[in-house]
């Protein structure tokens, strides 16, 4: 662990988003080479975008952070489509797709929960 610390790194949803990005990265390594700049690229960009948006929005105002969390949520749902396409094209197994869906659902719920928390905080002001 680094001696330099950022507050967003404490967020469980951020940690889970990092883990999911790693999971997707491992999966796309097994995709056919011709998919490198197609579905594989889209899948890893969407997966990485979840953690990136959490980090980017975290140091901003509540309304702006809420907007970034929405973008992270959108990216998570983009990953559902990428995973579905990957299993339909026989790039990943149904079991891997199911694991992806479980992780995406968990992250999505956390994002929604935090968005609701921020909205409540904004309404109190």
pLDDT in tens, 25-79: 999 999 999 998 899 999 999 999 999 999 999 999 999 999 999 999 999 999 9
What mean pLDDT, rounded, does the chain reach?
Answer: 96
User: Under CATH, which architecture does the 19-27+34-124 domain have?
Assistant: Up-down Bundle (1.20)
Total-model pTM: 0.94
Q: Say if residue 1's pLDDT is above 80.
A: no
Domain residues of the chain, as ranges?
19-27+34-124
94-124 vs 12-28: helix crossing angle, rounded to 10: 150
Structure confidence by residue, pLDDT tens digits, 31-44: 999 998 899 999 99
Tokens for 33, please give them. Answer: 């080479």
Q: Which of 58, 51, 49 lies closest to 118 in space, CA to CA?
A: 58
* pLDDT exceeds 80 at position 125: no
Q: Contact at 8 Å (CB) between 57 and 64?
A: yes
Q: Which of 16, 43, 2 is nearest to 105 (CA)?
A: 16
pLDDT of 124 reads 83
Q: Which residue has the tokens 């959490």?
A: 54
């Amino acid at each position: 662990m680094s001696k330099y610390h950022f507050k967003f790194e404490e967020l469980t949803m951020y940690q889970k988003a990092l883990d999911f990005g790693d999971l997707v990265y491992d999966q796309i390594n097994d995709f056919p080479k011709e998919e490198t700049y197609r579905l594989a690229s889209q899948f890893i960009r969407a997966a990485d975008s979840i953690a990136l948006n959490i980090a980017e929005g975290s140091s901003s105002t509540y309304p702006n952070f809420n907007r970034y969390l929405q973008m992270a949520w959108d990216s998570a749902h983009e990953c559902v489509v990428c995973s579905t396409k990957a299993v339909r094209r026989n790039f990943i197994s149904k079991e891997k797709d199911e694991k992806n869906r479980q992780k995406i659902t968990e992250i999505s719920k956390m994002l929604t929960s935090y968005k609701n928390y921020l909205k409540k905080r904004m309404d109190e002001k």
